[in-house]
Amino acid sequence: MADGWRRLLEEESEHQWLTLAMFTAFVVVGAFAINATENFVGDRIAQIDAMHEGGLVVDIEYHSNGESYTALVFSPSTGYELYTEHAGGRNAVVYTPETNDLGEQVNFLKTMPSGEVVFSVENNRLVALMGNSIITYDYTGFDETFTIHDVADFVSDEGTHRILLTQEGSRTSLRGVNNGVPTSAMSMSSGVQWHHVESHSEGLWVVIGTYTSASGADGSSPATPDPRPALGWVKWSGGNAAPVLESVSMHDSGMFHGFASTGDELIVGGTVKSLIIGDDESVSSIEAPSAHVVADEHGAVWFIGALGSTNLASYDGQLEVHKLSRSVPVVVSDAGVQGDVVQIHGTDEDGNPIQWSIDVTADGSIESGRGFLNLLFLLGGSTLLAMMLQHALQQVRRAI
């Protein structure tokens, strides 16, 4: 076949138009074929063979080894269970209705830089799981009561600074932890109900929450004023002093629901717009609405859309929007990273538990249809161009 092409290319000029026409057709057909496979190919509905099979994963934290996880799982028949499933199928149950029925009181699960998985089930106490050990941080040694909704650590050569996001009666606030003793609550919250806190840099923290104005003050219905997403900057560098709210910015609509880190930048996921926070404290918005954000092991952040979304966005210094071959099949309850796979947990449109997986290495690879056609197009086009160039050089030599 190659010899036939070579003879065709070596024909006199009256046949060269045919060669050029065939090359043009090759380019056009190749472009259409590649465009036809532009859909993201790394997603699938997972077949579950883990302990949480049949249950709804409410919160989950995958461990750094990529083989174990800690999860809060709800089953209508048994209730809430909190456990760790280790590699090899071993498991360590923390709460279960049969023995210690506290799973329903778990406020959150979060992995600290040390590897601890922390949560809270009662006032003034924080519980941490580390390997097979359970550690309780008891903050009940003074006459104040608060509920812990979130925790953030900042680790440096001098040690670890920990800050708690707390419920203080009808308002939320922040308390630092100094030598195991919590500070007094941050005195001002600017009318915002804070939901999550994350460390930014030495002595500087970021909080996200929801602000609801006085009835009708922002132009919304006086009976049901619209909540607005809020971003706050907090200063606390350790010591006995309470954290201080430095500034608050209100945004137009939607809700901020979580953080993810790319290393140099902190991403705030939002239902309408998301934010990029730089290490220089700059804040910019991006058109990446999501129900959840999660960072993979390669430093990219994935924006998981709401049920029915047709696109999937990722950010690794620049925003890339992937067209899905089918719409997002899950109402997200939580997500995490297991090796090169982002695992998204929740329910399908009928309310049944489901797990949706994204292989972050698959899209554009040779194994995908688009990657294969790209490779085929490059090889085929290069071969044709090389044969045409070789013939042109032969004609030049003959002319000389």
* Sign, CA torsion 64/68/72/75: positive
pLDDT class for 103, splitting at 50, 70, 90?
A: very high
* Sign, CA torsion 354/126/276/246: positive
- How far is Cα 63 from Cα 48, in angstroms, rounded to an integer? 18
Lowest mean pLDDT among 71-75, 131-135, 342-346: 131-135
pLDDT class for 304, splitting at 50, 70, 90?
A: very high
Domain membership flag for residue 231: yes
* Sign, CA torsion 291/294/298/299: positive
Please tell me which residue, 144 or 397, carries the higher pLDDT value.
144
Domain membership flag for residue 242: yes
Q: What is residue 158's predicted lDDT score, i.e. its pLDDT?
A: 83
pLDDT in tens, 78-94: 999 999 998 877 789 99
Q: What is residue 32's predicted lDDT score, i.e. its pLDDT?
A: 47
DSSP-derived 3-state class of residue 346: strand
Give the CATH number for residue 367. Answer: 2.130.10.10
Q: 385-397: buried (b, 16+ CB within 10 Å) or exposed (e) per residue? A: eebbeebeeeeee
Q: What is residue 396's predicted lDDT score, i.e. its pLDDT?
A: 57
Domain membership flag for residue 20: no
Q: Which pTM was predicted?
A: 0.80
Q: In the 8-state DSSP scheme, what is residue 305?
A: P
Q: How many folded domains does the chain comprise?
A: 1
Domain membership flag for residue 134: yes
Residue located via tokens 């923290």: 205
pLDDT class for 369, splitting at 50, 70, 90?
A: very low
Domain membership flag for residue 26: no
Q: What is the phi/psi pair of residue 169, to 5°? A: 70, -120
- How far is Cα 386 from Cα 11, in angstroms, rounded to an integer? 16
pLDDT reading at 36 higher than 60: no
> With contact defined as beta carbons under 8 Å apart, do 333 and 56 qualify?
yes
- How far is Cα 330 from Cα 307, in angstroms, rounded to an integer? 5
Q: In the 8-state DSSP scheme, what is residue 226?
A: P
Closest-CA residue to 71 (of 292, 355, 359): 355
DSSP letters along 75-144, please?
ETTTEEEEEEE-GGG-EEEEEBTTTB--GGG----EE-TTS-EEE-SSTTEEEEEETTEEEEEE--SSS-
Closest-CA residue to 168 (of 197, 192, 141, 148): 148
Domain membership flag for residue 317: yes
pLDDT reading at 15 higher than 80: no
Domain membership flag for residue 9: no
Q: What is residue 363's predicted lDDT score, i.e. its pLDDT?
A: 62
Lowest mean pLDDT among 85-94, 157-166, 275-284, 306-315: 85-94
Please tell me which residue, 400 or 316, carries the higher pLDDT value.
316
pLDDT in tens, 240-273: 999 999 999 999 999 999 999 998 899 999 999 9
pLDDT class for 226, splitting at 50, 70, 90?
A: confident
CA–CA–CA angle 66, 69, 73 (5° rounding): 145
pLDDT reading at 26 higher than 90: no
> With contact defined as beta carbons under 8 Å apart, do 342 and 330 qualify?
no
- How far is Cα 116 from Cα 73, in angstroms, rounded to an integer? 19
Average pLDDT over residues 61-78: 92
Contacts of 224 (CB under 8 A, 6+ apart): none
Q: In the 8-state DSSP scheme, what is residue 40?
A: B
pLDDT class for 155, splitting at 50, 70, 90?
A: very high
pLDDT reading at 28 higher than 80: no
Q: What is residue 338's predicted lDDT score, i.e. its pLDDT?
A: 93
Q: What is residue 223's predicted lDDT score, i.e. its pLDDT?
A: 54
> With contact defined as beta carbons under 8 Å apart, do 313 and 321 qualify?
yes
- Cα torsion at 374, 376, 380, 383 (round to 10°)? 100
- Average pLDDT for the chain: 85
pLDDT reading at 174 higher than 60: yes
DSSP-derived 3-state class of residue 371: helix
Closest-CA residue to 324 (of 306, 339, 312, 336): 312
Q: Could you tell me the residue range of the domain that residue 236 belongs to?
A: 42-373
Q: In the 8-state DSSP scheme, what is residue 192?
A: E
pLDDT class for 385, splitting at 50, 70, 90?
A: low
pLDDT class for 372, splitting at 50, 70, 90?
A: very low
Domain membership flag for residue 383: no
